[in-house]
Structure 1
Amino acid sequence: MDNTAVSKLALSTILLSLVLTKVSSLPVSSADYCYTEKWCGPELWYDTFEGCAQTFALQQSPVDLNPVYMIRNMSMAPLKLEGYDKLQSGSWSVINIRDTVAVKVGPGMRIKGGSLPDMYETLYIAFHWGSAKSNGSEHTYNQRRYPMEMQIFHAVSPFTDVRTVIMEVPQAVAVLCVFIDIGPEDNPVFEAISGAIPSIPLPGDKKSIPPFVLRNLLPDDTSKFYRYPGSLHFPPCFYGVEYAVFEDPIYISQKQYNHFFTGVYYHEPESPKKMLLHDNYRHIHPLFDRSISTSPNATIPKRSSGSALAASLLAVLVASLVSVLLARVA
């Protein structure tokens, strides 16, 4: 095995280890990074976490789902959501883990298809939101940012025991992303999560909830989605993550949305300064040489010819500059 293969294998193992360690008990995240403070915000993450650097090689996330980079894949198979349509047994937990609100789910759900290289077990759900005056989805759709985004994390099968960290598959993690918009009525399925928020104001707080049918929290049409290779969107930001972002959003009420940016805090319990968690999204990163594969019937939105040309020229310029810099380093 050559050095490149060894390096990729080592990186994959580290990535899966970090994600699965977080998932196994969903511990409170590191205080070395934040979202809205100047000294620890996303623009400075790379000072502490080298993997968060915005470089050509590290394939960072999130990205804008920009039509300039979209390529329709007519042979892409549908996503298969196994167990998503069944009511799972046991108990789930809604947890404040400082950088987000997460839902730890039990075993029994998995995904495959959609050009994913393997089968992935469903592990947990995380959310990203804005504030009363701003939207907070991590990905953007043709430069539009939605109020909120739901991300469902998966690890490659057959690792149902999240303590197992030895892995030889490069694409060890897959994330399903769902945009969340505001509608006129409460979402009865989402209420199980938003209704738990008042009980988990501080990092480490946890509330048990009964399981629900996860398929009911996805868009009606799951055949329309976008695929691209990316990274963890939180430190250490290692790449090797497979993303699938659904085109259609789901809807919740304004009241349900308000629970997140008015009731979730990220300060330590003993801290005299109360700090609300809001706008907990990472900035958009360039795709560089990556493309976005669209499922056969997903929409490729239209952009004005001027905007498309400008984006294309910028992509070429950035790629050329990176190539020159890499040549000099070599």
Structure 2
Amino acid sequence: MRTSRRDNITIRGSKALHLAVLRLTDVSLSIHVGPDGENTWPKKYPFCGGVFQSPIDFHKDILQYDSNLSPLEFIGYNVSSTDHFTLTNNGHSVKMHLSPTMHIRNLPFEYTASQLHLHWGNRNKSEGSEHTVSGKHFAAEFIKYCLLLRAEAQGPAQLLTICSLQIGPFNPSYEKIFRHFRNVKYKDQMVHIPGFNVQELLPDSPDEYYRYEGSLTTPPCYPSVLWTVFRHPVKISQEQASLKTTRVVLIDHVISFLPTSFSHLNERTENTGVIYSEKILTIGFTFQ
């Protein structure tokens, strides 16, 4: 039986940055998914039929408290407005390139920043998140992605952090990205946007998160990801969550497809569970 941190899924936050991708769910069937959707993936990509696949549903039956988890520290996230980020549209995604000097302390391994992307629901359903909590979808997901810094390290090759987005009041921090989408409406368009404190995009309690070892959610579905999913969502307005406000034309539906099926933890290992942190009265802070 495989032994890993995957056996204990956690609640606490972790992040990574570099590219930003906008994925949509209201797309036509693509070569990638075939007529039967993601059920056909294992035929060409064997890992997609494995037992450590993502996304998953976080529910009380699999949550376990892990006192070894530490609060995350976000280093290099406050970028001066005199610097800039770059948004690009490559035809299947909108990318926001960020500095690899951004990193997170108190992770089990050292990672370098790589990418940031967003998942939206379709025009008729505000259910854009891949992971769910007690079966509940969120309007969108904000994902940060990074790579293991040292090849000799024996940890998951990729670190992905998820911040769920919920409909609520207007969010000025997210608007620092959204308002520039109109300038990358078509393929190969690019725009520079002023630097800002990327930590503003996180929930108010980033020390509370779920963690588990899983996989990429689309082919090739490699089981090489350390997932950290923030326990509390961030709120954005209905207008901000609307696809109409993005004004982005994505022509490659292979990458923009958002899978809808979930992997069941009890089919993976006997001891798999989600570890969550709780606030405790001690030096420093853990989670809840």
TM-score, with length taken from structure 1: 0.67
1:46 aligns with 2:42: yes
Task: Find 1:96's aligned residue among 82, 86, 89.
Answer: 89
Q: 1:107 to 1:230 in 2, by over 3 A?
A: same
Counterpart of 2:133 in structure 1 is 141
1-side partners of 2:104 and 2:46: how far apart? 31
Q: Give the drift of 1:267.
A: 1.8
Match of 2:241, SS?
helix
Counterpart of 1:234 in structure 2 is 218
Structure having greater relative contact order (Cα 8 Å, sep ≥ 6): 2
Task: Give the conservation status (yes or no) of the 8 Å contact 1:26–1:97.
Answer: no
1-side partners of 2:202 and 2:232: how far apart? 9
Q: Give the drift of 1:202.
A: 3.8
Match of 1:143, SS?
coil
Q: Give the drift of 1:148.
A: 0.1
Q: Give the drift of 1:98.
A: 4.7
Counterpart of 1:119 in structure 2 is 110
Q: 1:191 to 1:27 in 2, by over 3 A?
A: closer
Task: Give the conservation status (yes or no) of the 8 Å contact 2:115–2:146.
Answer: yes
1-side partners of 2:172 and 2:249: how far apart? 25
Aligned positions of 1:317-328 closer than 5 A:
none
1:39-60 deviation per Cα after TM superposition (whole angstroms, max 9, x unaligned): 533333333333222x22xx11
Q: Which has the higher helix share?
A: 1
1:270-319 deviation per Cα after TM superposition (whole angstroms, max 9, x unaligned): xxxxx7997734532122223211123355xxxxxxxxxxxxxxxxxxxx
What number of residue pairs does the alignment pair up? 255
2-side partners of 1:237 and 1:136: how far apart? 19
Counterpart of 2:276 in structure 1 is 294
1-side partners of 2:19 and 2:135: how far apart? 35
Q: 1:43 to 1:100 in 2, by over 3 A?
A: farther
Greater CA radius of gyration, 1 or 2? 1
1-side partners of 2:96 and 2:262: how far apart? 25
Task: Give the conservation status (yes or no) of the 8 Å contact 2:164–2:232.
Answer: yes
Q: Residue 68 of structure 1 aligns to which amino acid in structure 2? A: D
1:199-240 deviation per Cα after TM superposition (whole angstroms, max 9, x unaligned): 223444332212211111100111110000011123211112
2-side partners of 1:24 and 1:124: how far apart? 4
Q: Give the drift of 1:64.
A: 0.8
| Structure 1 unaligned blocks of 5 or more | 5-22, 159-165, 269-274, 300-330
Match of 2:182, SS?
helix
Counterpart of 1:177 in structure 2 is 162
Counterpart of 2:67 in structure 1 is 74
Match of 1:239, SS?
coil
2-side partners of 1:69 and 1:256: how far apart? 33
| Structure 2 unaligned blocks of 5 or more | 3-16, 280-286
1:160-218 deviation per Cα after TM superposition (whole angstroms, max 9, x unaligned): xxxxxx55433121111100011132x11211221122222344433221221111110
Backbone CA RMSD of aligned residues: 3.2
Task: Give the conservation status (yes or no) of the 8 Å contact 1:128–1:281.
Answer: no
Task: Find 1:198's aligned residue among 177, 182, 191.
Answer: 182
